[in-house]
Structure 1
Amino acid sequence: MTISPLFSKALLVALTTCLAMTTHAHTPLAETLSARQQALVSIAALTAKGDLPHLHDALAQGLDAGLTVNEEKEELVHLYAYCGFPRSINGLNILLKVLDERQAQGKKDVIGKAASPITSTAPKYERGKKVLEQLTGRPEKEPKTGYGAFSPEIDRFLKEHLFADIFERDVLTYQERELVTIAALVSLGGVEPMLQGHLDIGLHTGLTATQLQQLMRVMEAAVGKQEADAGRAVLTKMLATKPK
């Protein structure tokens, strides 16, 4: 019997996820990524890669792992900031297809909490700046240097839109958004400085080095060893800067 490449990859994803969970069976729970967290990582990786057939399976598996419809939708919206509207909208269309199929199969997925309205009247730039400081644990430097000084517009867009409009939404936690962001950046490749920064933020939001290493194993199953190894190299470099 001939096994299709698509089936083989889906089987590898499932087996690797099971192996990762088994390998850490005797590790404290806080040191492992939950099934929900692993699903967030796989969905982000495959969305950024544009691998729609496997994204279809990952979205279904995420719902089975406990993600709500609104959490998956929020993840796909969040991802447009990192991999663009085309990838994000493709992902949303695949999610619609998955939901229609599951409804036809008689499955009742949990819709989940919708985003709460933002009631703050503070300027969006200041709100976004505060969110970024919470994420990094460091005050924002003023005056701006580097790209922020060269292009004040991009600094404003980042603060007002990414960190205010998007990160302020409460469907996903900061930690979950960082898992999604890290996975997307590893999948994209070639963005090592940004990846190192977000890995550092991941630690600040409460992720452990062990969990980030596990994330790379999930990435290897989802999109490939080359991308995961490149991510591991950045993670190793970032961890080397931390006090022992």
Structure 2
Amino acid sequence: MNMDTEKRVHKLFGGASSSLNKTDPEFAGIIANFSQGEVIEANKLTEKEQMLCILSALLGCQGMGEFQNMLHAALNMGIDPIVIKEVIYQATAYLGIGRTYDFLMAANQIMEQHEIKLPLATQATTNEKTRFVDGLAKQVELFGENMAKRQTDGPVLRRNINRWLADNCFGDYYTRNGLNDQEREMITFCFILAQGGCENQLRGHTAGNFGVGNDKEKLYSIVEQCMPYIGYPRSLNAMNIIDEVSRAWENQ
């Protein structure tokens, strides 16, 4: 491990618990050199964006142990706890509460270890009366007028899910403070690419990222940042989808 990587690892992972340095020192060295050295050096994202991608990808692939390590790292780096909570909250729309509950509980424990007072300040901007209207407006802003037409022209049997996408996915989460539109589309892309098997949704949110200004080069950087945590197959599949959507986007 070179000196710069060693300093970064020491700085980030204070408070994180792992026995790998004792039981598997060679493996631990490979992982540290690659994920905290080579990948970071090549990446063009900001430190905040890097950490948001990593945490989102670990939620998506259900990497609880490494999520806990990286949450310590995020807090040691100075990432706002509100930002971290917003990542976990929004993940629920794409992964389900069955897969995010334990991560939220783990995050609360780690935040308490870092002497962060809970609950954090509220970030909601909607209420029961406004969440549908404001959520649909956010959908239309990010994905176009066809989102509104789904409420009136979509299949009858999809009426409930289309409404829930507006009032819950967008009204309850995307309208919140704490993250901007670029960041919310970025983490959504990470949730979807990391869980796999959701290629159609990944295409939609690749286009959504283009729409908010996260261009092809940035999306490639996002995938590269996620790759050590999710592996090569899902990363390469995501890059293929970025290329596909980029070609369609250019031909519009």
Q: What is the TM-score when the length of structure 1 is the normalising length?
A: 0.82
| Matching residue within 8, 29, 41 for 1:19 | 41
Residues 42, 222 of structure 1: 8 Å contact kept: yes
Q: 2:196 pairs with 189, 192, 196, which one?
A: 189
Residue 160 of structure 1 pairs with residue 182 of structure 2:
no
1:43-58 matched pairs, under 5 angstroms: 43-58=55-70
Contact 1:70/1:111, CA 8 A, preserved across alignment: no
Look up the match of 1:144. 153
- Give the structure with the larger helix fraction: 2
Task: Work out which of the residue numbers 107, 126, 129 in structure 1 matches 2:133.
Answer: 126
Secondary structure of the equivalent of 1:89?
Answer: helix
State the identity %. Answer: 19
Indicate the residue corresponding to 1:106 in structure 2.
none
CA contact (8 A) 2:54 2:229 kept: yes
The reply to whether residue 240 of structure 1 matches residue 252 of structure 2 is no
Residue of 232, 236, 243 corresponding to 1:229 = 236
For the structure 1 residues 124 and 44, does the alpha-carbon distance in structure 2 shift closer, same or farther, using more than 3 Å as the test?
Answer: same
Q: Which of residues 45, 52, 77 in structure 1 aligns to 2:89?
A: 77
**In structure 1, how many angstroms separate the alpha carbons of the residues matched to 2:26 and 2:105?**
25
Match of 1:98 in 2: 110
1:61 is paired with a residue whose SS is helix
Residue 54 of structure 2 aligns with which residue? 42
Distance 1:16 1:196, change over 3 A: farther
Contact 2:57 2:191 (8 Å CA) reproduced? yes
Alignment partner of 1:59 is 2:88: no
What letter matches 1:216 in structure 2?
V
Change in CA separation of 1:54 and 1:119 when aligned onto 2, cut-off 3 Å:
closer
TM-score (norm 2): 0.80
Q: Which has the higher contact order (CA 8 A, sep 6+)?
A: 1
- For residue 118 of structure 1, give the secondary structure of its aligned residue in structure 2: coil
Range with bigger deviation, 52-61 or 178-187: 52-61
Shift of the 67–111 alpha-carbon distance from structure 1 to 2, 3 Å rule, reads farther
Question: How far has the Cα of 1:49 moved from its partner?
Answer: 1.1
Q: SS in structure 2 opposite 1:172?
A: coil
Root-mean-square deviation (CA, aligned residues, Å) is: 2.6
Residue 14 of structure 2 is matched in structure 1 by none
